[in-house]
Amino acid sequence: MQAIFAPLVNITIELLKFFYSLVPNYGAAIIFITILMKLALYPLTLQSTKQMAAMQKIQPKLQDLQKKHKENPKELQKRTMELYQEEGVNPFGGCLPMLLQLPVFLALFFALNSPEFKEILTSPGVNGGFLWIKNLAEPEAIFINLFSLNIKLPIFAMLIGLTTFWSQKTMPQAGGKGTQPMIYFMPVFIAYISIYFPAGVQIYWLAQTIITALQQSYILKNSG
């Protein structure tokens, strides 16, 4: 899959180099490029969030239809489509904008995880660290001594889990109560898998999750 995104990956790496030339720190460069991409894709986030909010709003009506026509699937489908038309809701409107953002996010993900970027970080004179992280190409973790035990604590992975939970709480739950378990499962799952990501990818994931949550909160607050 990475080969498919090769042109976008190359563009992303060049953008990272550009931001590094402005602020000589690749951790900061990752944050800046993430902000740039999230701002550029804001119209898609706006549409997606509004559609999910609209779906959440009509959930009671959908549930009534499901109870009323549970023995007649064809009638249920007909009435459901009529409801969508009456309310001006596109059931796929919340998903499509998110899918359109994936190529951009995957390009950045692959760029930060690429051999080219790892080579850049190890080049002489390059600031390949960020905060307490010495190498952005390696997974982030700090070691603390607790009761004479040297414990590895993945701070960024934990923050990714917490911000993912926050982002999901700000997102309208178009699926109703049935989606509630995912709100708790996904942050734990994403935090676990992100432990093994290079720190550069962790910074990107953390930054984009925070920005997404802020954008969603802003949209919902100002959409009435």
Q: Identify the weakest region by mean pLDDT among 3-12, 14-23, 146-155, 209-218.
A: 146-155
Q: Which residues contact 98 (CB under 8 A, 6 or more apart)?
A: 44, 48
> How far is 220 from 9, CA to CA, in rounded Å?
33
Within a domain: 15: yes
CA 66 to each of CA 76, 79, 139, 172, 220: distance values in angstroms, whole numbers, following the listed order:
7, 10, 47, 21, 27
What pLDDT is attached to residue 57? 78
Within a domain: 204: yes
The 8-class DSSP code of residue 133 comes to B
Is the model's pLDDT at 115 over the cut of 80? yes
Within a domain: 128: yes
Number of domains observed in the structure of the chain:
1
pLDDT tens digits, 13-39: 888 888 888 888 888 888 988 888 888
Within a domain: 120: yes
Spell 5-22 as b/e; 16+ CB within 10 A means b: beebbeebbebbeebbee
Within a domain: 56: yes
Domain limits for position 161 = 6-222
CA 159 to each of CA 123, 156, 187, 189: distance values in angstroms, whole numbers, following the listed order:
29, 5, 10, 13
- Which phi and psi (to 5°) does residue 144 adopt? -120, 145
Within a domain: 214: yes
Higher-scoring residue by pLDDT: 135, 14: 14
pLDDT tens digits, 48-59: 777 777 777 777
Is the model's pLDDT at 167 over the cut of 70? yes
Within a domain: 158: yes
Single out the residue of 104, 124, 216 nearest to residue 166, CA to CA: 216
pLDDT tens digits, 64-112: 877 777 777 777 778 778 777 777 776 666 566 567 667 777 887 888 8
Within a domain: 1: no
Q: pTM for the whole thing?
A: 0.73
